[in-house]
Amino acid sequence: MGKRTWSYRLCIIIGILGILDTIFVLGMQGGINLGTVLPGLAGSILLLWGLGGEWFRGEILKDRFLLLRRLIMVGLVFLLSSFLIIEGLILVNTKDPIPEGVETMIILGAGLNGDQLSWTLYERVHKGAEILKDNPQMKVVVTGGQGPGEWIPEGVAMATYLLEQGIDEERIIVEGKATSTMENFLYSQELLVGDSSFNPSKPILVVTSDFHMFRSKLLAKRHGFYPVSVPCYTPWYIRPNVYLREYFAVVKSVLFDR
């Protein structure tokens, strides 16, 4: 009984966290997509299971829902196992050694406040600018469209920042339509194919946040790139939120993004 009660309480706690995560992201204008909604949906299921678990075990139902209970428990075990595996992959797939002679970089968008870079986007484009200054042969694709609360496309804002840092305009390729990581690489690929100097057999640098790197490399490979990680640091106080959301985003990308 004690173990059962503890497991139900854990479901309630995790369920509430999942629902709060979705509410927080939507409140921060994170956009309505599978990656932001899934924590809330999964949290609602866990919350209902935690609150109603004793009812399912009540004498009034006896064994009528035995199969359902077992299926739910198997689902919970699978969810926890996949969560641990994916989070482990996210943690270990961050930084790669950068080979010499890389000629192309892609900086992934991360949101604007009006026309101002968000903290996350600033970290990405600032790191990209530092690398570009040390590698004058390198071109860069800045990719990101215009979402809720944004006055201009993210790609345009990133290009403006790079120009202010002294990066030549000829080295900057602006992609301003993408609304997801999958589209970042899809549209970047379309632009680079039209660039005569681009060699698809050579590696490219992918600049994004550390928690976002595993999924970014996965999608980059699907679009024919050879990605090399250049991660940006994520503050500890937002890590629980972004790593939780990234689990669901990875699941979505594995199943649906092409």
- 8 Å CB contact between 197 and 173: no
What are the φ and ψ backbone dihedral angles of 124, each rounded to 5 degrees? Answer: -70, -50
pLDDT of residue 210: 94
Please report where in the chains the tokens 């196992």 appear, as a residue. 81
The arithmetic mean of pLDDT across residues 99-116, rounded, is 91
- List pLDDT tens digits, range 25-80: 666 655 555 556 777 888 888 888 777 766 555 544 555 566 666 777 788 788 88
Strands 139-143 and 104-108: parallel
| CB contact set of 113 (below 8 Å; sequence gap of 6+) | 149
The arithmetic mean of pLDDT across residues 116-145, rounded, is 94
The arithmetic mean of pLDDT across residues 76-97, rounded, is 88
Average pLDDT taken over every residue of the chain: 85
Dihedral (Cα; 82, 83, 84, 90), 10-degree rounding: 110
pLDDT band at 156 (very low <50, low <70, confident <90, very high): very high
The pTM (predicted TM-score) of the whole model is 0.79
| CB contact set of 207 (below 8 Å; sequence gap of 6+) | 105, 106, 107, 108, 124, 125, 127, 128, 131, 230, 232
d(C-alpha 7, C-alpha 210), whole Å: 32
Task: Point out the least confidently predicted range of 7-21, 111-125, 194-208.
Answer: 7-21
Burial call 169-202: b when 16+ CB within 10 Å, e when fewer: eeebbbbbebbbbbbbbbbbbeebeeeeebeeee
